Structure 1
Amino acid sequence: MSSLSSFPALEALKSTLEQIILDPSYHDLLAVVKGARNGAVYGAKVRFPHALVMVFLFRPGTLQQKVSLVFRATRTHAANLARFAVVYKLTCFLLKQYGATPGKSGHYDSMLAGLLGGYVVFGGRSKRSGKIPSVNQQIVIYVFARVVLALARLAVKPEGGTGLPFVSREGISGAITKYAWPVFAATSWALVMHIFKHHPDELQPSLRSSMTYIYQQSEHWDSLRNFVWHNK
C-alpha cells in the first residue's frame, strides 16, 4: 500500500488540517467537535453491550425486533451524549467569551451549561408516545445517584471545607461516614422491593424485567428442565 507521502496533495491537506487543529485560537470550538465525537463513541460502547444483554435475555419478540431494539437504544444513547456534549461545551464557550469577564470562565458556567444541556437533551418527551424515553431515564437516574453520593460526601467534609454546619464536625462526620452507606443501601433495597411488589409498573422497564426474572419467575416450574436449565 502506498504511503501518504506518495500523494503530495493529500500530504499538503493533512499538513493544513493539522495546523488548524493545533492552532490555539481554534481550540475551544474544536473541543466542541471532539466532545461530540467522544460522547457518541462512549455512549455506543456503554449502551450496546447493556442493551444486547437486556433485550436478548428479557424482551420478547423476533430476532429482527430484538436487533432493532438494541440498535435503537445504542443510537439514542450515543446521539444524546453527543448532543449534550455539544450544548454543554458550546454554552461554556459562549459564556467564557461574552460573560461578566470576557476570556475567563465564570464560577457557575459549568452549572448553567449543564442546566441548559440537561433541559434540551434529556428534559423532553417522545413526540410519538408522549413518554420520557427509557434510555434518557436511565442516564439521568445514573447521574442523579452519583450526584447524591457526591453531595453526601461533601456535606460531611471537615469544618472549614465544603461541609455543612453541625454534620461536618469531627465526631459526627465520622459516625455519618461509617453508618450512612449501610442505611442508604438497606433503605434503597427496601423501597425498590416494596415498589416492585405493589407498584411494578412505576419502575424503569429494564429494572422491572430483571426483577421479574429473579423474584417472580423463580416461583414457577413444573419439571427439572425448567427448574435448572430453562427458566420457563
Structure 2
Amino acid sequence: MDNFKALQSYLEREVILNPRYHQPLILLKALRNGLVYGTKVRFPHAFVMVFLFRSGTIREKLWLIFKATRQHATNLAKFAVLFKSSCLLLKNMNGGKEDGSHTFLAGLFGGYWVFGHGRGATSSVNQQICIYVFARVILALAKLAVQPPGDNSLIAGSYGGHGGKGTIGLSEKQLQTIQAYAWPAFASFSWAGVMWLFRWYPEMLQPSLRSSMTYIYTNAEKWDSTRNFVLHNK
C-alpha cells in the first residue's frame, strides 16, 4: 500500500502536474471526458428507446444499447482529441497566441473526420448529434444577430434580394455532386459553428449544451491532482 501511494505521488509530481506534459495530458483528459460524457448521455436514452420501441430478445436489445452508447462515446472522444490537438497546433504555430479562427478551423476539421466522413456520415447516431448541434447553432446565431452591432461581428452583411434558379434544371452530375458533399459540409460547418460560438459567445448557446461542452473541452485543461485528472472532472 505504501509503495502504491509512493508511486502515485511520484506520477502526480513528475507527470500529472509537470508543465512539460501539460499539452499531451490535455488530449488524454479530452479523450476521457468525451468517453465519460458520451456514455452518460447515450446509455439512458438508448436504454429507454430500445426497450420501449424495439422488438427482439433481451440480449439483442442490450447489444443495440451497447452499440449506440459505444458509438456516441467514442465519437465524442475522437472529436474532442482532434479538436483540442488542432487548437493546440494552431496556437503553437501562431507563436503561442490564440486566434479568433482557431476554434472554427479545429471544429471544421474534427467535424469532417468524425461526423461527415466515411461510415460516420451514414450513422444514425452521428446524424442525430449533428442535427442537434446544427439546431443549437442556428438558435445561437439568431440571438447573436439581434444584439447591437457593437456587441457582435455578425451584423454587417445584407441580402440583395437577387433571384435564383434553386436546384431546378441541375444536371444529374450536379445533383450527384451535391449529394456527395452535402452531408460532409453540413456536419463540418455545424461543428465549426458550435465550437466557435462556445469559445467566443458561450452565453448564446443553450445552457445544457454549454454545460456539456464545458465538461468535455474546457475542463480538459484543468486539474490539480491525479484524482480530478482521472476520476473527477473538477
Matched, 1:14 2:8: yes
Task: Say which is worse superposed, 103-112 or 140-149, in terms of deviation.
Answer: 103-112
Structure 1 gap ranges (5+) = 168-232
| 1:18 shift after superposition | 0.7
Q: In the alignment, what sits opposite 2:111?
A: 118
Q: 1:61: how far off?
A: 1.5
CA distance in 1, matches of 2:52, 2:5: 50
Normalising by structure 1, report the TM-score. 0.63
SS in 1 for 2:84: helix
Letter in 2 for 1:164: I
Give the deviation of 1:28 after TM superposition: 1.9
Q: Which residue matches 1:59?
A: 54
Partner of 1:88: 83
The total of aligned residue pairs comes to 156
- Deviation of 1:161 (Å): 1.6
Q: Any idea what the Cα deviations from partners look like across 1:62-115, whole Å, max 9, x if unmatched?
A: 2111111000000000000000011011111111112xx311122211111111
SS class of match (1:102):
coil
Larger RCO (CA within 8 A; separation ≥ 6): 2
Q: CA deviation at 1:25?
A: 2.6
Matching of residue 23 in structure 1 with residue 14 in structure 2 = no
Q: Is residue 2:29 matched to residue 1:39?
A: no
Greater alpha carbon shift after TM alignment, 155-164 vs 32-41: 155-164
| Aligned counterpart, 1:196 | none
Q: Deviations over 1:14-60 (max 9, x none)?
A: 12211111122322221111011011000000000100111111112
Contact 1:37 1:82 in 2 (8 A): yes
- Identity over aligned residues, as a percent? 56
Q: TM-score, normalised by structure 2?
A: 0.63
Measured on the aligned residues, the alpha-carbon RMSD in Å equals 1.9
Whether the aligned pair in 2 keeps the contact of 1:29 and 1:93 (CA below 8 Å) is: no
Which residue, out of 132, 141, 145, partners 1:151?
A: 141
Residues 70-79 or 20-29, more deviating: 20-29
> How far apart are 1:166 and its partner, in Å?
9.6
- Write the letter of the residue equivalent to 1:141: I
1:70-219 alignment, distance < 5 Å:
70-98=65-93, 101-126=94-119, 132-162=122-152, 164=155
Structure 2: tracts of 5 or more residues without a match: 159-234
Distance in 2, Cα, partners of 1:66 & 1:153: 41
